[in-house]
Structure 1
Amino acid sequence: MITESKILIVDDEKTQRDALAQLLEMDGYAVKTASNGAAALNIIDRFMPSVVITDFKMPNMSGSQLISAIKKKNPLIEAIVVTAYGNIDIAVDAMKKGAYDFITKPIDFEHLSILIKKASEKRMITIENIQLKQQLSSVSHKIIGESDSIKKVLSVVKRVAGTDVPVMITGESGTGKELVVDALHKSSGRKGNLIKINAAAIPIDLLESELFGYEKGAFTGAESSKVGKFDLASKGTLFLDEIGDMPYNLQSKLLRVLQEKMVMPIGASSEHPIDVRIIAATNQNLDKRISTGAFRNDLYYRLSVIKIDVPPLRERKEDIPILAEEFCREFARRYNKNIKGFTQEALQALTNYDYPGNIRELRNYVERAVILSHSSLIDVSLMPSELKNIQPDASISIDNGLEAAVEALERDLIKNALETTGMVQTRAAQKLKISERVLRYKLAKYGFK
């Protein structure tokens, strides 16, 4: 029995409420009683019950009226109405006003116990959902932006955070993949820690022992046992960053963990179960690594039950001013500067740039500008040369006629598509929504090599 559950019994018949209170106390509940609705409302302020059991027919304030008053005070309190057999229609009306359920007289205590447990469970689920929404709100503000692409990322995070399915996060370096990981974990409701490990940053011969741990004497130098990352993340989340760099032989062991939910430290004689949610991330093209035999196809599909692609900054330029202003406020506080923002010219220079280093690069530029600034507005003179030297393409001008302007624009769009897809013509054609044959024709037409 969960002793934290508190019950308030409201009945104008003393014998009835005292008998019910005694039975519930024997069942492990903390119980208070009230003889009428007004007394019940006073007790609620001090006692904060999980469930109120109220008789329907009472003088001055009916059970239905009491429930309405309770829900105004605290909508999380559940209520069960006790009614005579012939008053079921009235009890149903009370349920419409917020009662969880009703029970008829004479009270079947076993049935009442079941109703109390179900009402308490409903209350806890409601509270957990509110907490999850609050957690999601608190972490989502770190994923800043108003673009459709970033709203799509946040929408997926909201829908899958409470599940235990593996998630694969893809995106270029510096796009904010780790912020998505933080949002998923903090909004998951999992009680354990978020443990992070970068597969590219740990030597190949040490990565297995870092993940699985080892027993004392498992190998030369193992003078004591070591807990692996899987166990450190128990009941929490394990984030495998740069999963594309994981050695092939270790990929098969990770696949088995995902399938069996069991791990065996190096040198151990038996496996043990784990409860861990796996999130992986990469900035590599895993399809290409699969085709070359560097990454297991079956592991990829296991990790990619849910896939979240974090867009590069150049594809969400409308978010650049929002991000820049947020970083400006952050660094102004850190360095104790009285800086209100950017001049229009500086903001335009920031927005025009394509940021191969994505958000990380933008953040660095803003920090530099805040440190160097001596006025309340950051001027374009504080921008690095690569931002200040960007000028609109002079060739796109109606002075040369409409046909020449259209060709200049088309040439620039093709160039941008090639650059943003790593010069892969198939992907560039998909981005431009034209066939590869048409793209090859236009590459030849505009002299691309």
Structure 2
Amino acid sequence: MKTQLKDSEFNTRIEPYDWRWSATIVGIVKYFKKYNPDGIKITNDYIEFNSENITDEKYLLFVEEHFRDAMHHKKVEELLETTWEDDSKRIEMINSKISKPTDSNTIMISTFKNIKYDGTNNTEILNIIEKNRLELIKQTFKGGRSLYYNFCNENNLLSEAGKTCRLRGYSVDIPKKGKSIAYKRDMSTFTFEDDKLFDFIPFAFSKSRESLFINCSFRIDELIKYNSGLEDFDRTEERGFISARSQVLFRTKMASSFVDFDVEIISKERLQDYFESIYIRNNSIKIFEEIDDTIQKSLAYPCPYKGDYLPIEKIVTDSVLNEVKLDNLIEKLLKEGDKKYLITNLIKINNLIYFKGEDKMTEKQKSAYASAMAVREVLKESPNKIRAYEQKLISAISLKDYEKVQELILHISAYTQVKIGIALDLFEDFEKNKNLAYTFINVLGDKK
């Protein structure tokens, strides 16, 4: 929420009234950190500053620095400042930037119309960039599908408060749909909130395909602290294949500090025209704390499945957040037969979901593992027999025919003379101890 102040050192105060104002605060703090660190007052409950210290020119230069990697003209400048052994490749890349059509590159084409880089006209290219810098930044930012366009109606950039909120999912085409969203089609009943300062919201989110913002608005310093560095997530060349979602949800020290107050994570997918709220509950926090780095890494890569890919990390994190068991995913992968290591880790997480963050079945899981290995040893000369047992067990558990699973385990025990200790647990309460059955089945099959 914004308040205009009088007779004060600063003329504007912002409080984290909802997530939009919280994100605006984070963006503005980053802006002042660059231009005037002493020009902003930060307390536990609000920030204050003078609005005249935010100008369109400074804003656009801030955009250029923050989203440097997405600015085509900055890439051209960098290429012009370097020397390559094969200069033809560099010339090709520069000409591609100033002439190749893309959604966010039309401004480069119009700016450099009929101009080609030949390896000698560096000064000409640099002068054109400098002369048109602010317009290049504005149009690139406005049209970039991962930039302003992802978060706001591109027609509202740097405009004063409009007739509807500028954010995606909040913005409305008033001439076409105005009356349809008003109570009894009376536009006087239509309420909304918009502000030019909402243009700072994109700077609060991570630079990733699924952009995330942590709305822990209990204290302003916490809000700034926990969103610091989010813009660097998902740079795979630096961090490996670790997404912003993983970085946010699996940061156990951060999650632990959320236990005493409510936290929501705002998510914005590039292909969706709206924002989503992800709520972190205490049970979910406990589960994330128990998932170590080794397990986390096993979830990072999309899993090949029937000619497509399963977004394992998203499925798992959504399941943990909503306390939804991973039974269906585990059973689906068991049928594939070549996902043993991943399934092992999914079972560990599933066990935590079953017991709300407490790993109560470690010893029993070891027993299930040992029993399956003992059966494999007895039947090592009969691999087809092992495979047949495995397939029957997978089929039975996928069909929820738990009595059949119990019968098969008893049959395997009698046939191999191996004591399968988990059988009693499965007979007492199969649903509660299902992860023991998953472990036994997973270990019983061919290990790859």
TM-score of the superposition, structure 1-length normalised? 0.24
Computing the radius of gyration over CA atoms, which structure comes out larger, 1 or 2?
Answer: 1
Q: Per residue, is there more helix in 1 or in 2? A: 2
TM-score of the superposition, structure 2-length normalised? 0.24
Q: Per residue, is there more strand in 1 or in 2? A: 1
